[in-house]
Structure 1
Amino acid sequence: MGKESLRKRKGENNGKEDGESIQSHEPQTMNLQKQVGLISGICMIVGTIIGSGIFVSPKSVLANVGAVGPCLTIWAACGILATLGALCFAELGTMITKSGGEYPYLMEAFGPIPAFLFSWTSLLVTKPSSFAIICLSFAEYASAPFYPGCDPPQVVIKCLAAAAIVIITIVNSLSVKLGSYLQNFLTAAKMIIVTIIIVSGIVLLAQGKTENFEDSFKDSKISVSSISLAFYNGLWAYDGWNQLNYITEELKNPYRNLPLSIIIGIPLVTVCYVLINISYFTVMTSTELLQSQAVAVTFGDRVLYPASWIVPLFVAFSAIGSANGTCFTAGRLVYVAGREGHMLKVLSYISVKRLTPAPAIIFYGAIAIIYIIPGDIDTLINYFSFAVWIFYGLTVLALIVMRFTRKELRRPIRIPIIIPVIVTLVSILLVLAPIISAPELAYLYCVLFILSGLIVYVLFVHFKFNWPQKISKPITMHLQMLLEVVPAEDITE
């Protein structure tokens, strides 16, 4: 049924657009469409990076360095590092124009095993758990006005977060354009609250509220360990700087729009982050900021009262926008892993009517809902998040390796070799810092989980062990009929 309707639609399109006969026998390809332009690309970067972190908990950076001056320096330095990392990814993304972010780059440079371990860790831990955390943050802020003076019940927060995941999953499964438009709208909404906080801070500075910036480096705690951990926490707020590489196949003119989106988007986020922190310090001392549970809400209560309700509303918009951007891009990682045979093949199928990787997005949303069920997954995220920088460093190392092993590849963007070297070295430091400064058994569990992917790889990829056809074939067939999806492959009429 799916292939027949596909052929009919392809024939109609050829007759209308190319003036060819409906009976054309040329192969037709069912692939993701290039529908994301420059503005949507910038919004995807800004919207994914700016989530709830900068509004809720910038105190983690301050707690590690102990003073205002080093804190602002760290926020700016994190932005520079994110930009350098994104430029490395821009060269990789224009050299290997495949969706899936790190996955195809690791595949080209090191082969299928590192690529599989990346997809294994990302698909089952880092991506869905991050999606779940963002939606939980949204749920907390969205429900807070209905429970004044007390914390909302956990069951309300979890149900609201699950509802957010379901809605975002449905939107991104239905239409690429709808997901992009929603991202553009939510990015505009979060930039409103960013602008309100920044402008309020500038006004307060103009009124002479500068006492918290005097002796800004006094009482600072500067050490390799503290700086590393401060970077670690700051970069968590910048996480998402590489998201556009997950949808390279859907970018219009990727050679131009990918680097431009990075060069415009990430420095814009960096400027916003630094100015937001300056605004916080105009109304709060370091001690008050460290004692605040939600820094942006405290800022709103002191500056915007009686309109302080604006802050939780727009922070909720910000969180849901970040969740939408994460779902839009991470769904493509599942799609690519399925296409390469590293996940179930049905996850690489594309909707006939919508031209979206619907099975991959639905799978991603389902795993994220599972992560909502435990009482507290913040600790889990902290322990597993350092795994992200293992693969960031490995991917940038792949860029260095391919400079020597794949010289024949066309490189529309070629960055100085010193940039990937710096990013690789910083990645090594970021991975080792939490282990050295606060060694815990949980880091070992994380490494063991990553390596356990080798067992799955050997069984299901290398030896191609398949589930019994009596089980897998009917499931795939019913999913195809239910979701109206077909393989992303050449179909001849």
Structure 2
Amino acid sequence: MTDSSETKAVKRRSGSPEETEKLNPEDGATVEVKGALKKNVGLVSAVALIVGTMIGSGVFISPTGVLKYSGSVGASLIVWAGCGILALLGALTYAELGTCVPLSGGEHAYYMFTYKNMGRNFGQLPAFLYAWVGIFIIRPVMFSVISLSLGTYIVKPFFPDCEPPIMPIKLITAAAMLIITFVNCYSVKIATQVQNVFTAAKLLAVVIISIGGIYFIAAGNTETISEGFEDTAEDPSLIALAFYNGLWAYDGWNNLNFITEELKDPYKNLPRAIIIGIPLTACCYVLANIGYFGVMSRVEILASPAVAVQWGERVLGVMAWLMPMFVVMSCFGASNGCLFASGRLCYVAGRDGHLPKVVSYIHTTKVTPAPALIFTLITGIIFLIPGDISTLIDFYGFITWIVYGFSALTLLVLRFGRKDLQRPYKVNIAHSHHRPHHLVLSGHSPGYQRT
């Protein structure tokens, strides 16, 4: 690729090495990064990051909220499937953004690229505001919420007849956050391997729940599943609350966009991972709920604070301890994936000058964004000190959906304002359906030149 008058070069410093980003509206986006993070994430690890961060504690806790507000067994299954479709549509939007602007940092990178030429005062404002909201609210809250679920499930067995005290839960949570941060600071490869292993463990848990429930249904325990749409909620606000609970369990579908620069061949692996990961997660959620309905009544599910644990006591007998263990592993994997992605946002914000430059430094031998990861840990622990799960989820959810909506608007701005920008993956705006099937299915990669 040769420089032209349309080529825009932005020189940055990440630690001491210099990075040069070249974005050409005719040739798409090419990135030259010297001394930056390595491309260690393949397709399997990319899928594991998506699935592993979405399947945290939601499949073990949220069935209660979805069933409560939807009102019936049949409606709750439709809500779970519908939430999966909504998550997929949102993720396909991010697939186009991530392949035409293949930079790490997720929304921050897309806002910088889209709005930077819209005046000196406004240009960097959306990216700056998102960086601060994301780094100080969205990402640390998400890290704290998932880790707090982990601490709760670790402590709960020691207090079987009462609610566990909050102090040991928060101490265990903080210890887990420290361990996860250490692993991510030590090695990107080990962090991705941890993600792969713990994602496999949570998928195994879902398989056990699904097979166990289907076996009970086949054996004649159809009382709950046969209720169908009996008592379905007719109030639209209740259905909206059911979707809200379900969508919380799907959150994390955009985490892969935060590490695009570390993704091997992002032009095909980013959309591939999304198309594989989100439907896989949706199938897991629907099958897990069928597994619950095959063993437990609707009243029992609504009354249970930990549906999967009670299901294990009912079905697994002496092996019932497996379910709490799987829940802990699931939360640990989700926390690991969340920090892995969140640290990159902090790293990119420092690289772009929206945070102190020190957070964009990279460890000289481990090649990990250690300062950014440690900064994310500190902000996460600050939110952990006063908060509980319910208040943190409310705080997080409101701001997150504003960001998702603005990202969809950003896609439209790019689509109509930068029609000459090459798009390896393009979403049909009318039907939210991807057009270039051959790019994803055949593995064809667009002809970008790396300068």
Residue 109 in structure 1 maps to residue 114 in structure 2: yes
Residue 388 of structure 1 corresponds to which residue in structure 2?
A: 400
Residue 87 in structure 1 maps to residue 100 in structure 2: no
Match of 1:184 among 196, 202, 213: 196
Aligned-partner residue type, residue 99 of structure 1: S
Superposed CA offset, 1:387-444 (max 9, x none)? 10111011011111111111121100112112459xxxxxxxxxxxxxxxxxxxxxxx
Max Rg structure: 1
Superposed CA offset, 1:264-283 (max 9, x none)? 11100000000101111112
Residue 226 of structure 1 corresponds to which residue in structure 2?
A: 238
Give the share of equivalent positions with the same residue, in percent: 52
Is the contact made by 1:99 and 1:246 (CA closer than 8 Å) also made in structure 2?
yes
Is the contact made by 1:126 and 1:381 (CA closer than 8 Å) also made in structure 2?
no
Q: Distance in 2 between matches of 1:246 and 1:221?
A: 38
Residue 361 of structure 2 corresponds to which residue in structure 1?
A: 349
- TM (norm. structure 2) is 0.85
SS in 2 for 1:51: coil
Superposed CA offset, 1:211-270 (max 9, x none)? 212241121113332222211111100000111000000000111111111111110000
Q: Distance in 2 between matches of 1:223 and 1:308?
A: 38
Q: Distance in 2 between matches of 1:403 and 1:203?
A: 49
Q: Distance in 1 between matches of 2:139 and 2:241?
A: 21
Q: Distance in 2 between matches of 1:335 and 1:375?
A: 26
Aligned-partner residue type, residue 375 of structure 2: F
Q: Output the aligned Cα RMSD.
A: 1.9
Match of 1:68 among 49, 73, 93: 73
Q: Distance in 1 between matches of 2:401 and 2:161?
A: 39
Superposed CA offset, 1:142-163 (max 9, x none)? 2233333333332211111001
Q: Distance in 1 between matches of 2:414 and 2:113?
A: 8
* Greater mean deviation of Cα atoms: 265-274 or 202-211: 202-211
Q: Which runs of 4+ in 1 moved over 4 A?
A: none
Is the contact made by 1:165 and 1:365 (CA closer than 8 Å) also made in structure 2?
yes
Is the contact made by 1:129 and 1:371 (CA closer than 8 Å) also made in structure 2?
yes
Match of 2:146 among 127, 131, 134: 134
Aligned-partner residue type, residue 405 of structure 2: G
SS in 2 for 1:409: coil
> Aligned pair in 2 of structure 1 residues 172, 80: CA closer, same or farther (>3 Å)?
same
Match of 1:301 among 302, 313, 322: 313
Is the contact made by 2:62 and 2:246 (CA closer than 8 Å) also made in structure 1?
no
Superposed CA offset, 1:39-58 (max 9, x none)? 10111111111001111232
Q: Distance in 2 between matches of 1:320 and 1:411?
A: 36
Match of 2:61 among 48, 53, 56: 56
Q: Distance in 2 between matches of 1:290 and 1:148?
A: 19
Aligned-partner residue type, residue 103 of structure 2: K
SS in 1 for 2:404: helix
SS in 2 for 1:350: coil
Is the contact made by 2:359 and 2:372 (CA closer than 8 Å) also made in structure 1?
yes
* Greater mean deviation of Cα atoms: 381-390 or 350-359: 381-390
SS in 2 for 1:411: coil
Q: How far did 1:168 drift? A: 0.6
- TM (norm. structure 1) is 0.78
Residue 410 of structure 1 corresponds to which residue in structure 2?
A: 422
Is the contact made by 1:57 and 1:294 (CA closer than 8 Å) also made in structure 2?
no
1:17-416 alignment, distance < 5 Å: 29-110=34-115, 111-374=123-386, 376-416=388-428
Q: Which has the higher helix share?
A: 1
* Structure 1: unaligned runs, 5 residues or longer: 8-26, 422-493
Is the contact made by 1:119 and 1:333 (CA closer than 8 Å) also made in structure 2?
yes
Residue 26 of structure 2 corresponds to which residue in structure 1?
A: none
Is the contact made by 1:183 and 1:321 (CA closer than 8 Å) also made in structure 2?
yes
* Structure 2: unaligned runs, 5 residues or longer: 1-12, 18-31, 116-122, 434-451
> Aligned pair in 2 of structure 1 residues 159, 346: CA closer, same or farther (>3 Å)?
same
Is the contact made by 2:62 and 2:249 (CA closer than 8 Å) also made in structure 1?
no
Q: Distance in 2 between matches of 1:384 and 1:31?
A: 30
> Aligned pair in 2 of structure 1 residues 78, 375: CA closer, same or farther (>3 Å)?
closer
